[in-house]
């Protein structure tokens, strides 16, 4: 067992407790950022007069060699597990000491694992947010590409999973584009609070060796430094914020997954999943199951649960650092891995998905979805909307009994309900006219949707 402490203790630590207590098995993924933070801190010590320039160069060379080994040799970390390092910090410090001798022991002067791990998490999460944003943009590109392929395809729009009003398929896809826009905006905003440096706060009360924290922030690319050392070492708000943004992103992915699961059933037949993202049944040879979508839907609860778990851990912690905070990493790492993999898989789903245009178009003409437009027709004739709404309801019942659409009712049928109806009623009920009428900003008018697609393409650098 290799630890950074022990002088206070006279008896050997219990092996089972060591396994219970250690974090290297999961915080080893922080090794590179721990080294990067240590390089900056070494420079800060040299600036404070605790390293000579020669000593600094020797320490930096040792850290650079260690970083290269970590990045290129997976077995090196595995050996660290067998060597029973307590955490990633002890791994880096002891491995550095093997390379540069006593200077490796000098590096931790004025620094605590408390401000060290808080810095590592921010460095790691900063890069992870950038990677997640790239994955979101990738899915958005898939949605926009698919929307561009079907600029005029009309589909049923649903409320309560009942046919409501016709919309463009491209308009439907862009709804999820907008959800992802908000997800990206939340991550960008979260990143601002991630990018504040806690290093130099010590264990809880500050740094006592004169390290210039603003200098550390500058060389590590942080926007500023934390204002209170107690808060700096115990703050995990930024982790919770990311997990909240990840949870909401997963909710959006789950909603999309639910739609597509429904749309690929025999009952709907709107889309067909690509073979690359589907599975079969071990018993029923005819089955093609949308497992990719079901897994995304299922993993959403996992990410939400991780956020709730961390919030529950944080809610009763006294000031300042407590070992409970070690629980933040597995929750964060799992949420990161899950949301990034789900974004990537959903991109594959959209890219390989086939759209059954004929079926979609056919269903768009069913369900009396132009009933609201018939009510608008009466409103234009001077009938108050509430009266028009009631009148159209009666006309729909009549059409249902006759087994015809609103456009198939005769003029005589309409006149039996109202003398205001003229032959122009059929133009008002035409699908193309119905769509064009939704010309308000954000509506499903083909011209507006086409402009929205082009705007999205430009925003993603696709033009």
Report the half-sphere exposure of 307 (CA within 13 A, side-chain side): 22
> What's the CA gap between 65 and 39, in Å, rounded?
12
C-alpha 241: how far from its chain's center? 12
Q: What angle do CA 9, 10, 13 make, to 5 degrees?
A: 70
Alpha-carbon distances, residue 245 vs 188, 304, 329, 338, 444 (angstroms): 10, 10, 17, 13, 28
> What's the CA gap between 167 and 170, in Å, rounded?
8
Element (H, E) at 168: strand 162-168
Among the listed residues 281, 416, 439, 455, the single catalytic one is 281
281 is catalytic: yes
| Cα end-to-end distance, the chain, whole Å | 57
247 is catalytic: no
> What's the CA gap between 395 and 61, in Å, rounded?
83
Among the listed residues 10, 53, 75, 160, the single catalytic one is 160
Residue 271 has φ and ψ, to the nearest 5°, of: -135, 160
148, two tokens? 């561009």
Where in the sequence numbering do the catalytic residues fall? 160, 281
């Amino acid at each position: 067992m290799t630890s950074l402490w022990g002088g206070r203790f006279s008896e050997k630590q219990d092996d089972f407790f060591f396994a219970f207590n250690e974090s290297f098995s999961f915080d080893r993924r922080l090794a590179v950022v721990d080294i990067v933070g240590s390089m900056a801190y070494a420079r800060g010590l040299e600036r404070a007069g605790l390293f000579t320039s020669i000593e600094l160069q020797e320490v930096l060379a040792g850290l650079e060699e260690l970083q290269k080994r970590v990045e290129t040799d997976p077995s090196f970390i595995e050996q660290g597990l067998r060597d029973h390092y307590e955490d990633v910090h002890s791994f880096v410090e002891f491995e550095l000491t093997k390379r540069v001798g006593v200077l490796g022991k000098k590096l931790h002067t004025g620094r605590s694992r408390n401000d060290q791990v808080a810095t590592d998490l921010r460095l790691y999460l900063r890069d992870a947010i950038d990677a997640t944003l790239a994955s979101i943009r990738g899915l958005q590109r898939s949605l926009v590409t698919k929307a561009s392929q079907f600029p005029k395809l009309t589909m049923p729009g649903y409320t309560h999973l009942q046919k409501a009003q016709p919309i463009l398929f491209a308009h439907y896809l862009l709804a999820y584009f907008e959800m992802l826009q908000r997800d990206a905006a939340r991550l960008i905003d979260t990143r601002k609070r991630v990018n504040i440096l806690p290093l130099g706060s010590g264990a809880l009360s500050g740094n006592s060796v004169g390290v210039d924290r603003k200098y550390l922030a500058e060389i590590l690319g942080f926007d500023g430094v934390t204002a209170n050392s107690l808060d700096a070492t115990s703050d995990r708000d930024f982790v919770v914020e990311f997990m909240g943004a990840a949870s909401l992103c997963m909710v959006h992915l789950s909603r999309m997954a639910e739609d597509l699961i429904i749309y690929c059933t025999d009952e709907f037949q709107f889309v067909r999943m690509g073979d690359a993202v589907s599975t079969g049944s071990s018993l029923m040879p005819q089955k093609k199951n949308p497992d990719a979508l079901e897994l995304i839907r299922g993993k959403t609860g996992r990410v939400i649960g991780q956020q709730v778990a961390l919030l529950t851990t944080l809610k009763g912690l006294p000031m300042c650092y407590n070992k409970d905070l070690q629980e933040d990493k597995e929750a964060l790492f799992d949420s990161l891995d899950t949301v990034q993999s789900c974004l990537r898989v959903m991109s594959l789903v959209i890219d390989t998905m086939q759209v059954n245009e004929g079926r979609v178009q056919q269903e768009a003409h069913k369900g009396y979805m132009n009933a609201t437009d018939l009510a608008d027709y009466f409103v234009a004739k001077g009938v108050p909307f509430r009266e028009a709404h009631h009148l159209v309801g009666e006309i729909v019942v009549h059409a249902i009994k006759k087994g015809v659409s609103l456009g198939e009712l005769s003029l005589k049928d309409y006149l039996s309900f109202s003398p205001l109806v003229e032959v122009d009623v059929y133009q008002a009920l035409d699908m193309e006219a119905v769509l064009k009428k939704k010309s308000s900003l954000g509506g499903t008018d083909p011209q507006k949707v086409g402009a929205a697609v082009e705007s999205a393409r430009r925003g993603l650098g696709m033009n």
